[in-house]
Amino acid sequence: MRIVLATLTALTLAPPAGAQESTLQGIGFAQAEEGTWHCLHHEPGEALACAREHCLEQAPDQECAPTWCYPARWSGTMTLWLSDFHTTRVLCGMPDEATLQEVLAGLCWFNKDARSCDLTLIVDPDGKELAMEGMTFPGGASETGANATGEASQTTE
């Protein structure tokens, strides 16, 4: 698994085939207890101000913690379920959707406190949101953590 994560990390540093760096945008996230909001823009201040504005509209009495990523490429959010609470993990700059999902699965699996993780949102390089429902990764604290492959399971409803 370490070799896989190292390979995936190396892939994220290379621009996608045919990509022109001047056309890439960054992505700003604002996180509060009520959720996570994002905006794409070439300027960090613009993206972060936009995300913060959405955060303050939806969670007016909460602190909105900023995160900036450049280039945005494929980005996503994942809920980590810990024993006493949950938290949201943001990941950005991945070269494609499959790599994004694999890296998030690895981050969950190697987190010794995570029982499981739910992939909640994917944002493609153009800013299109892909809602993810039922995509769950095993965490390091799960019963299968020691034997888990890090692969996602799809739940049916």
User: What's the pLDDT score for residue 89?
Assistant: 93
User: What's the pLDDT score for residue 62?
Assistant: 95
User: What's the pLDDT score for residue 150?
Assistant: 47
User: What's the pLDDT score for residue 50?
Assistant: 97
User: What's the pLDDT score for residue 133?
Assistant: 81
One-letter identity of residue 87 = T
User: What's the pLDDT score for residue 16?
Assistant: 46
Q: Characterize the bridge pairing of strands 74-81 and 65-69.
A: unpaired
**CA angle (52 as vertex; 48, 125 as ends), nearest 5:** 50
pTM of the model: 0.74
Structure tokens, 15:
């621009």
Torsion of CA 98, 100, 102, 106, to 10 degrees: 180
Backbone φ, ψ for residue 102 (5° rounding): -65, -40
Mean pLDDT for back-to-back runs of 10 residues, the chain (157 residues): 42 45 84 94 96 96 95 95 91 96 95 94 94 88 58 48
Distance, in Å, from the CA atom of 120 to the CA atom of 78, rounded to the nearest integer, reads 5
